[in-house]
Each structure stands twice: as C-alpha cells, then as structure tokens.
Structure 1
Amino acid sequence: MLQINQTVKNITRLSQVINTLLKYSFEDIISNTGLKRFVPAKRQISWKRQDKSVFEYTRWERVRMVIEELGPSFIKLAQLLSNRPDILPEELIYEFSKLQSQVLPFDLEQSKSIVERETGKTINEVFTYFDTRTIGSASIGQAHRARLKNGTDVVVKVQRPDAYSKVTTDIALLKDFVRLTENYFKNLGILNPKEIVEVFEKTMLNELDYEIEARNIQHFRQIFKNEKKVKIPQLFKKYSTSKILTTEFISGCKITDIEQIKAWGVNPAKLIKAGMENYFSQIFEFGFFHADPHPGNILVSPDGKIALIDFGMVGKLTKREKHDFSAFFIAMANQQPKIMANHMQRLAGNTEIQNISFLEKELEDLVDEFVTYDFENRKLDELTSRLRKIVFDFKMSIPGSIFLLLRTLAILEGIGRVIDPEMKIVEVARPYGFKLFKEKYSPKNLNYEFQYAISNIFSLLYSSPIDLKFILKKIKNGKIYSHIELHGLENFLKRIDINTNKFVLTFIFAALFVSGALMTNIPPERMSTFFELPWISLLSFVLSAFFGFVLAIYLIRNRNS
C-alpha cells in the first residue's frame, strides 16, 4: 500500500515537472525522451512568462525559471550544482547563482508540537519564553528565539513536519526523471546525471539530520576553544535531536553593518582582517571550514568578537587537497603553468587529461590575465569563473570541496571589500599558503608520504598472489570473458589487407623469377631444354610472368587505396 501511495505521489509530481518544462519551451526534452508518453495529445501550452515570450529568454535562463517554479528541493539541487563546474557549463552555473530559497514559515503550533515530541516535555517545562515569530525560514526548517529555564537565551531550529516526505518524494522523482532523460543530458555534455542525483540525495539526507550540524558545532568549538576573537555558539545537546537543534543565541549585528560596528568602538579594518585570518586558519590548518559565510551568518558582538552561526554547510579538505590547493596558487603567483597543471591534475584524481599541453596553455593564459598584467584589480570570483570553464572544458572531476572553498573565499572577498576596500585577501592568505607549502615538504610529512607509499606497495604485494589465483581460477573455469569493440578501423584494416596481398604477390613473383634465373645454369645433359632453357627454369619464368600479371591487375584495381 505504501509503495502504491509513493507511486501516485511520483506520478503527480512528474506531471507537475512536465507541465513546467512545457511552459518554458523545453518541449525538446519531452519529445526526445520517455517523458512524452505522459503528455496528452491535445495539450494546450502557454508560452509566456510575465507577458514576455519565453523565447526571449536564453535557454539557461529558462532552466533557472523551471527550477524556481518546481520548488525548494530543486532549488537546493541547483545551488549544490552551482559548485560543480566539472558537471555544468559556466552559463548555467551563473544562472543558478541567482536562485534564492525563500519559503514561508509553517504554523507556530506545529513548531511547538514538534519540539514537545522531540524533547518529551511541554514547551513550558523547557522554556520560560518561546517566540511566536520566526527569525529565519528555509526549505528544511525554521528558527525561533527562546529562553531556557536557567535564563539562557537560545535559538531553536525546528524541522518542517513534511520535510522528509517532500525531499524523499522529490529524490525518487529525480531518479525516475534521470532514468528517462539520461541520454538527452549526455548529448548536452552533462555526462553523469545519475551521480548528480546520488550526491544530492546524500546532501539532502544529511541536512534532514540536525545531529550532523550539532557535531559540526561541537567540532568548531573544539578547534577554536582558545580563540579570543571568534565565538562559536554553545550547543544544548539535551534539547537537540535529529529534528530540532538548540544553540546559544548570540546578540550582534551583521558584519557588513559598518555604522553599528563603529558605534561600538570597533575598528572595521582590523575586524575583517581578524575574520579572514580565522577563515584561513579553518581552511589551511584544520581543513574544516564554515562554507556559508554570507553576512547573515557572520555576526559582530558589541565587544568586537566575530560570531559564526549556522553550521549546516561545512567544507572538508584532505591533507593532500590542502597541499595541492596551496601549491597550485603558489605556482600561479610564481607564473609556473606547468606546475599548476601538475597540481590541478593531482586534484582531479583519476581524470585522464587527453592533452596536457593544451591544459598548460590554458593555465598560461590564466596567469597572463590574472597575475602578469592586472593582478591587483582582479577579483576571486572572476578567477573562479575561469577555473570553472577550464575544468568543464577538460572534463576534470575536481572534488566539490575545492570549488566550495573558492566560492567561500569569493564571498569573503566581497564582504572584505565592503568593509575595507584597501584589503587584499591574497595578501592575508599568503602566509597561510606558504606555511602549508612548507608543511608539505617538512620531514614529518615526507616521512608520512613515504610510509603511505610503502604501505601501498606492501598491500599490492600481499594482494597480488590472491588476485592472480582468483583470475587463474576464473580462466580455468571459463568464466572470464573479453569483449573488445574497435570503431573507425575499417579503412585501416582494409589497407593492411591490401598491402599484405601486395607483399605476398610481389614475394612470389620475385622468388619464381630469381629461381628461374638461377636454374638457367643447369647443364643441358642433365635436364631437357626448351628454347635453350632448362624446362624447370622456363616453367619458373612462366609462373613468374603470371603472378607479375596478377600483381599488376591488383595494383591497378586498388590504386586509390
């Protein structure tokens, strides 16, 4: 019964998707995929949006409009993909960057009911005050101010009652949608739509579990427990579950509210420098960074401390990713495109780059544009845009965390320019990058890399006999099959066949002619002659002439080959 209900939900939602696609002139997706069987023959279509023909919008603008109309889950997917230039073209990433997930709050009584169910207590047993208004509302949940019985002001984030159902329905729909349209999107250059949905599913299911965000908060509090200039809100684990999250309320203003910051006697330039240094510490020292640094998530308290809130989106970098990322930008600053290409390839992992010299040329142009001629006036988002294009053109699979990091740095640079137009984010980052670069070649890290390499070698030596035994057993049982398809080799194989035939005919012709010539020296008393030639010599000449004639005809017939 549950499966039937889910199928009905999927069909209903799929119909909505098809109607939206048709509305924005994406009838080619419908007509060229399995979706066409869901559209009635006499369907009447409206081709306008805001009294303007949809054909006056670009294709990528219409894609964004489709996403906007399909709702929060699809907006979340598009926002996730805006950090994946290895998947989407730059023009579409630009359109997706315009998307905003604006969702109306749900009913207060529902919110209270969820809190009571999750804590096992009534609102009055936990809080002396619970604000009826929300201080933020999104597709997954909304937040309320409240006060605990001990007088601590807190923020309670409550998950929407239908969030899980809507997300799982939309994910199921996306899987069906991709199954029906996969070949269409591959023709557009989007090669792995199934992987996109799988990544989105993992991301959304993580966002539905507030305990993950709670662990992020605890981790940040641990690594910055001795930090004097930055504050991380306290987590109240007793009143937090997978569906609600209770954290300390931090009073302050947005980091871009320069007038209020100055009124508190805080120097904005020093403040933003301290904030940037903290972010670079997150990135280059810990490899664990707050990945949603818009002004609403970075507050300034009256005592001049910076407070980070909302840890639902964090970025994680491995040690190798940190090293290669810093080495790439150091090589860029030193105008070394070959070294840049090497580190970019290392970041791309198993991606096979067909022509590394073309990549080096692209990076050389990048260096000329952003370092050699106009470095001081270029912005990080412009650099990020160029890097995205290079990644897409060369079909490199760069970890999403790298472009999440670049997006984070671009947002921070924008905030920095508002507060202190003279601040150079690259100059603030430089000491951290060089520190990480030196760490990469430190005896400790080289020893670690050496031990890692030795471990891999021993692992290979250990597993090779087992793997070989397995393969031999498969061969013995006739269970190993090889299937090879060669495309575009027909002409090549034909030429080989012709040349082989030429060689064989020429060889026979030459062998018979030489043999006949040699046997002309046989004395007449030892063999009968014809026309004063030993009969076997004459036969060789005749056969040689025949094969010479065949060779000539064959060459004439195949002269174009």
Structure 2
Amino acid sequence: MNANPTKVRQYYKFIRFMLKYWNSDIFRQTSDVALNELVDEDSEHEFRQSPEELVEDLKNMGPTYIKLGQLLSTRPDLLPDEYLEALANLQDNVSPVPFEELKQVIEEDLGTKISKAFKTFDEKPIASASIGQVHHAELLSGKPVAVKVQRPGIKKQFIEDLDTLTDMAEMAVKHLEMAKTYALDEVFEELRHILINELDYRKEAQNLKTLGKNLEYFKHLLIPQPVLDYSSSRVITMEFVTGRKITSLSPLRRLGNDFSELVDELVEAYLQQIINDGFAHADPHPGNIKFTEDNKIALIDLGMVARFTPQLQEQLIELLLALSNSNGEQTAATLLKMSEFTEDSDKIRFRKTVSNVIMESENSRAKDLQTGRILIQLNRLAINTQIRLPVEINILGKILLNLDQIVAQLDPEFDLRAAIQKNVHEIMRKKMLNDLKPENFFSMLIESKNLLEHLPERLNRITQNLAENEFKIQIDAIDEKRVTDGFQKVANRITLGLIIAATIIGAAMLMQVPSDFTIFGYPGLAMVFFMLAAIGGIVLSYVIIFRDENLNNKK
C-alpha cells in the first residue's frame, strides 16, 4: 500500500466515510433484506444520517464518489425513497466549472478558438455532472449542438481515488470473510474499467454511432449523433435534443396520451440490444432519458455500455423467457447453467429460493418495479449460496431496473413480462434470419469444407485400426488394478494381524506347560512365540506408518 502524504489523506477520507456509514441503519436495512421477499417500500424507517447529509458527504469526497452516488440513485432496491431522491440531485446539480477553465480545454482539444469553431456558444451550462458539463452551441452552419466538456484534471483525480478504492478492497478481501465472499476487489476492478472508459469521450462518440445504427428502424427513439470533427477525448459535440427528463412528465400529459405503443417500442429496443446486438446502453436511468415534445424518447449519455457474447445472448434468451413465464424452476436451472461453483455451493437452497421469489412476483406490473429488482436479488442470493453468476446478470438487472422506472412513468399498468415474452420471440426470429446472412453462411461453409476435406483421412485411419485390432477407447475411470491392489494389501494386513494375535494366545497357553528349556525363568517355547509376535507387530506397525505408498499418487 502506498504511504505518501496524498495517499494517506485519501485513505483517511475513505475510512472516515466508511466508519460513519458502515453501521448506519441505511445499509443495515439493505443487508438485512430477506432474499426470498421483495423490499417493502411502504415501511417507515428512521436513520441517524439525513439524505442531505449523505449527499453532502459524497460531494465532499470528490467526483469519483459523486459517480458512485449517481449509481446508487438508480437502485431503489437498495435505499429508501428519500435517499434516492436526494442522490438523484447529484446527476444534474453538481457545481459547474468556471467557463474560462473549460474554454482552455475546448480550444486545446479542438486546436482552434471557440469563436472560430462555433457560431454561438452559451457559457452557462445546461447540465453539470461529476465528470463533465454540457453547453448549448451552434455550428457555423447554424445547426444546434450540445457540447460536453470534461472537467480539467478529472482523469487524474479519478485514477487516484480508484487506486485508493482498489487498495482498500484488496485489504478487505485479505482480512474480511464478507469482502471475500462478495469479491470486492473484482467489483472495484470492474468499476475502474467502466469509469476509465467513461473518461474517454471518443469511445462515447463511437458508442453513439453504433447504437444509432442498431436502432435506426425504431421511429419513436432518438440517439443524438456525434459531430466527429468537433470531438476529442475530452470534448464531445453531438446533435442537440430538446426535451425534458422523463420523470418530470406532468400527470395531465400522461392522462391525455396513450404511451403504450411507445413503451412497447422502448422495451423491444432494449431487448434487441441485449439479445441480438450484444451491445446495450447500460445506464438508462431517468437522467439519461429525455422525452421530446413530439412524444419521442431520446437516449443520451452513452459513456457506459454493456457487451454480451453470442453464447451469453442465447442463455439470456432462456432466462428472460423463464422470467416472463414466471417459471421459477426454469429460471434457477438457467442461472445455474451459467454459473461457476465451489465445494460450498448450495444449489438446493438456491433453486428453492429462486422459485419462491418468482412465484411471489408473478402478477406484478410496471409500477411495482419488479423485473430488474428480482434479477439483482437473485444475484445477491447466488453470492450468499456460494454460486458465482456472470457479472452480465447484474448488469442486465440494472438495465431492467432502470427500464422499470421509465416504463412506470409512462404506463404504470404496463405488463413488462408479457412484453418481454412477445418481443423475445420476435427478436429470436430476426436473429435466426440474421444468422442466414451470406457472411454467416460462408463461415459455416468453410467449416463444412474443412470437415469434408479431413473426413476420408480420419475414416481411413479408424477402419485401419479396427482391421488391425489396434482400435482403442480410452476412458478416464477408476483404475481397476489400483483398487484390487488396495484390497489385497488390506486383506494381507488383516491376515498377518490374526496370525500375530494367534501366536500371542498360543504363547500365553504354553506358559502353563512346564519345560526344562527356559528363558528368563519362563518356558522357552512360549517366550520364543512372544518375541516372534512382538517382532511381527513392530514390523507391521513400521510398514503401515512409514512405508505405505499413497494410492492416490501411485501410477
């Protein structure tokens, strides 16, 4: 662990924060939630720390911890409502950086003065977050754009804070069983990877382009496209989208419009990202979703994305179908098929609890915020039963949890599970058609060609070995010779032990027979038998203790 003064201050800051909140009722409520029950949002709780105090503490800790607070604000399964609302303010209400400091970043990265690059540039930010802030501007062509600029020195500060978190996590894993169980070091390593990627706006620009292409056929969805000539690692310029946060829709607007078609399209788009594209917007919290005046949804802020391998996509199809059918046994079986196990894994408990959770939530609606929360609960259950699920399951749970919130705002009675079931089947059909594309067909053709080329040679080799009686099948099973050798050794020991016992008994009986031949005043023949028995016992004990081979190592 690094012990320079800066590091010591960071460790002190982190430890002081953890000491304040570790025993707090806020987190105790989270850790005590029964795994086979859903959180009761209506229950009342009293806490020593107020929501505002938690927010201020995170702000004082710095931008990395503000980012952690933002992630917590989208997790209603972990914190009470009043704390979620307070943490949500971290998404937009971080104090802005003075424009003169940002102006230097923009001109350094774009290689020209702002006045030459933009027709107009509003110095007052329209949004200010922990990593950067957004300004409204116009290109020389008159096209309105949003310019997101990274805070000066933020990357260095993030890396220092992440190093501190990594050090503390590694120390916790070494000394605390709970930290080891939850693999805190791996959690923070994943967090580090996500945040470092989020600090490179060039990756976000590419993510916007990829998602825009993947979702171009959805008429109610907008993905603002980047202006690459005006973007860099610290500056990203993109199309300007007018609208408001989806959580700020007025009740009158919801009553006067039927958003069911829009919601269905949004759900289909996210399922396509997960199941078909393998590339998904991983942070669709309400702050990253805008609702436009013409009733369209804009997905913004693609700094955080999730990727799913083809094999995992197929497993997620099975999982989503099992969830949508409220099939607890199939859900548990699918999750177990994706998992890694240890000697302490409790599969029986896992199966039973999963079935209970799924059955209890069978008739839920969007307003109940159940689908994503269930996946997060199941991930927590897997940890407590020593079963290791892929990290993508937790990411999927987070995506669906945020999606639940958005859907609940637009159509509280929407049946998300029925929509998943309907759309998964349609997406599977598209996926199968996609697999028949020429490039996929030619790949399969090459594999078939290789098989046919080598098939005659392999068949000839097999038939030749059969004809010459040299065909062998190797089975990795119990070594029969080792087992019989072991039984023979046990039998020999028992027989020798019986002979020694009989010799001792016989010698004891001979002691009663008078004899002219004596040893130490005792009948000589009896003493000879006693000595032979003693020597035999000593030799047998020596062989058993010191000379026996370990059958497991015997080849």
TM interval, shorter chain, is 0.5 to 0.7
Equivalences for 1:383-402 in 2 at 5 Å?
A: 383-402=374-393
Q: Which residue of 2 aligns with 1:202?
A: 193
Q: Is the 8 A contact 1:327 1:437 kept in 2?
A: no
Q: 1:117 to 1:316 in 2, by over 3 A?
A: same
1:153 aligns with 2:144: yes
1:165 aligns with 2:156: yes
Q: Secondary structure at the match of 1:422?
A: coil
Q: 1:443 to 1:214 in 2, by over 3 A?
A: closer
Shift of 1:289: 1.8
Between 1:319-328 and 1:129-138, the stretch displaced more is 319-328
Alpha-carbon distance in 1 for matches of 2:503, 2:82: 77
Alpha-carbon distance in 1 for matches of 2:80, 2:177: 17
Query: Could you tell me which amino acid in structure 1 is paired with residue 168 of structure 2?
Result: F
Q: Is the 8 A contact 1:10 1:172 kept in 2?
A: no
Q: Which residue of 2 aligns with 1:144?
A: 135
Q: Is the 8 A contact 1:515 1:540 kept in 2?
A: no
1:17 aligns with 2:8: no
Alpha-carbon distance in 2 for matches of 1:302, 1:66: 37
* Runs of 5+ unmatched residues, structure 1: 27-54, 85-89, 459-498, 521-528, 552-561
Q: Which residue of 1 aligns with 2:347?
A: 356
Q: Count matched residues.
A: 456
Equivalences for 1:20-59 in 2 at 5 Å?
A: 20-21=17-18, 57=48
Between 1:340-349 and 1:318-327, the stretch displaced more is 340-349
- Please list the CA deviations of residues 462-516 of structure 1 after superposition, one character each: whole Å capped at 9, or x if unmatched: xxxxxxxxxxxxxxxxxxxxxxxxxxxxxxxxxxxxx99x968852444427989
Alpha-carbon distance in 2 for matches of 1:19, 1:129: 46
Q: Secondary structure at the match of 2:163?
A: helix
TM-score if structure 2 supplies the norm length? 0.67
Query: Could you tell me which amino acid in structure 2 is paired with residue 227 of structure 1?
Result: F
Alpha-carbon distance in 2 for matches of 1:136, 1:127: 19
Q: Is the 8 A contact 1:284 1:432 kept in 2?
A: no
Alpha-carbon distance in 2 for matches of 1:298, 1:400: 24
Shift of 1:131: 0.8
Q: 1:305 to 1:65 in 2, by over 3 A?
A: closer
Q: Which residue of 1 aligns with 2:396?
A: 405
Query: Could you tell me which amino acid in structure 2 is paired with residue 122 of structure 1?
Result: K
Alpha-carbon distance in 1 for matches of 2:248, 2:300: 17
Between 1:139-148 and 1:435-444, the stretch displaced more is 435-444
Q: 1:117 to 1:344 in 2, by over 3 A?
A: same
TM-score if structure 1 supplies the norm length? 0.67
Q: 1:509 to 1:223 in 2, by over 3 A?
A: same
Q: 1:9 to 1:191 in 2, by over 3 A?
A: same
Q: 1:434 to 1:418 in 2, by over 3 A?
A: same
Alpha-carbon distance in 1 for matches of 2:73, 2:250: 33
Query: Could you tell me which amino acid in structure 1 is paired with residue 94 of structure 2?
Result: V
Q: 1:351 to 1:277 in 2, by over 3 A?
A: farther
Alpha-carbon distance in 2 for matches of 1:303, 1:264: 16
Alpha-carbon distance in 2 for matches of 1:83, 1:259: 21
Q: Is the 8 A contact 1:231 1:308 kept in 2?
A: yes
Q: Is the 8 A contact 2:289 2:298 kept in 1?
A: yes
Q: Secondary structure at the match of 1:10?
A: helix
Alpha-carbon distance in 2 for matches of 1:254, 1:273: 19
1:420 aligns with 2:421: no
Q: Secondary structure at the match of 2:225?
A: coil
Partner of residue 285 from structure 2, selected from 288, 294, 306: 294
Alpha-carbon distance in 2 for matches of 1:403, 1:255: 24
Quote the sequence identity (%).
28
Shift of 1:79: 5.8
Q: Is the 8 A contact 2:132 2:150 kept in 1?
A: yes
Partner of residue 112 from structure 1, selected from 76, 99, 103: 103
Q: 1:396 to 1:65 in 2, by over 3 A?
A: farther
Q: Is the 8 A contact 1:21 1:66 kept in 2?
A: no
Q: 1:95 to 1:312 in 2, by over 3 A?
A: farther
Q: Which residue of 2 aligns with 1:8?
A: 5
- Please list the CA deviations of residues 503-560 of structure 1 after superposition, one character each: whole Å capped at 9, or x if unmatched: 688524444279899xx9xxxxxxxx9679x99996499649988xx99xxxxxxxxx
Equivalences for 1:494-533 in 2 at 5 Å?
A: 506-512=497-503
Shift of 1:310: 1.3
Alpha-carbon distance in 2 for matches of 1:435, 1:511: 83
Alpha-carbon distance in 2 for matches of 1:247, 1:442: 33
Q: Which residue of 2 aligns with 1:130?
A: 121
Q: Secondary structure at the match of 1:121?
A: coil
Alpha-carbon distance in 2 for matches of 1:257, 1:314: 25
Q: Secondary structure at the match of 1:222?
A: helix
Q: Which residue of 2 aligns with 1:310?
A: 301
* Runs of 5+ unmatched residues, structure 2: 24-45, 455-489, 539-555
Alpha-carbon distance in 2 for matches of 1:217, 1:166: 26
Shift of 1:431: 2.0
Query: Could you tell me which amino acid in structure 2 is paired with residue 431 of structure 1?
Result: K
Q: Which residue of 1 aligns with 2:457?
A: none
Q: Which residue of 2 aligns with 1:365?
A: 356
Alpha-carbon distance in 1 for matches of 2:325, 2:498: 62
Alpha-carbon distance in 2 for matches of 1:404, 1:310: 17
Q: 1:334 to 1:400 in 2, by over 3 A?
A: same
1:342 aligns with 2:339: no
Q: Secondary structure at the match of 2:126?
A: strand
Q: Secondary structure at the match of 2:109?
A: helix
Q: Which residue of 1 aligns with 2:484?
A: none
Q: Is the 8 A contact 1:213 1:312 kept in 2?
A: yes
Q: Is the 8 A contact 1:146 1:156 kept in 2?
A: yes
Shift of 1:408: 2.0
Q: Is the 8 A contact 1:513 1:541 kept in 2?
A: no
Q: Secondary structure at the match of 2:125?
A: strand
**Aligned-residue CA RMSD (Å):** 4.9
Q: Is the 8 A contact 2:173 2:179 kept in 1?
A: no
